[in-house]
Amino acid sequence: MYEILSIAIAITLSTSVFICVKWGNVICVGKTPVSLLAFSAILFTSGLDVGLIMFPLVEFPIYATEEAYNFTNPLAIEFGFWGFLVWAFYFLTTFYFCIVEPKIGLFQYRAIRWVNNLIIIATCAFTAYLFLSYAPTYIEGISSLQQYLLVGLIIFMAVFSSTHVRYIKFLSLTSSALFLLLTIVMLGASGASVPAFVESAANLTGYFENIHYFVGPVSDYHGWYLFWWFAWSIMIGQFVARFVSGIKTWQLLIALLVIPSVAIALWFSTLYYYFSNEIPVTGLLRWAMVVLGVIFVINSLDSLIRLYTDNLGVNTEGLGLTRYVGGNFLLLGCLVLLYQLTPLKIEWVGLIVIGLYLAIYILLFKNRRKLRESFIFAKNRPQN
Strands (E), 17-133: 27-29
Confidence of residue 66 (pLDDT cuts 50, 70, 90): very high
> Is residue 13 scored above 60 in pLDDT?
yes
Q: How far apart are CA 148 and CA 153, in angstroms?
A: 9
pLDDT for 168-213, tens place per residue?
778 778 888 888 899 999 999 998 899 999 999 999 999 999 999 9
Mean pLDDT across the chain: 86
Non-local (6+) Cβ contacts of 309 within 8 A are 162, 315, 324, 328
How many degrees, rounded to 5, is the angle at CA 354 between CA 365 and CA 343? 155
Mean pLDDT of 48-71: 87
Largest Cα separation within the chain, whole Å, is 61
> Is residue 375 scored above 70 in pLDDT?
no
pLDDT of residue 206: 95
Residue 145 CB coordination number (10 Å) = 8
pLDDT for 258-269, tens place per residue?
988 988 999 999
> Is residue 379 scored above 70 in pLDDT?
no
Q: How far is CA 243 from CA 94, 165, 176, 383, in A?
A: 10, 11, 17, 16
pLDDT of residue 62: 94
Residue 260 CB coordination number (10 Å) = 23
> Is residue 374 scored above 80 in pLDDT?
no
> Is residue 221 scored above 80 in pLDDT?
yes
pLDDT of residue 377: 61
Mean pLDDT of 315-329: 87
Residue 246's Cβ-count burial label (10 Å; 0-12, 13-18, 19+) is: middle
Asked if 34 contacts 239 with a C-beta cutoff of 8 angstroms, the reply is no
Taking the model in full, what pTM does it have? Answer: 0.84
Local structure of 27: helix, strand or coil = strand
Confidence of residue 49 (pLDDT cuts 50, 70, 90): low
pLDDT of residue 367: 80
Query: Could you give the domains of the chain?
Result: 2-380 (1.10.4160)
> Is residue 384 scored above 70 in pLDDT?
no
Local structure of 141: helix, strand or coil = coil
Confidence of residue 383 (pLDDT cuts 50, 70, 90): low
Closest CA to 103 of 378, 348, 379, 343: 378
Q: How far apart are CA 290 and CA 296, in angstroms?
A: 10
Confidence of residue 48 (pLDDT cuts 50, 70, 90): low
Confidence of residue 281 (pLDDT cuts 50, 70, 90): confident
Mean pLDDT of 131-152: 85
> Is residue 382 scored above 60 in pLDDT?
no
Q: How far apart are CA 8 and CA 51, in angstroms?
A: 24
Strands (E), 93-154: none
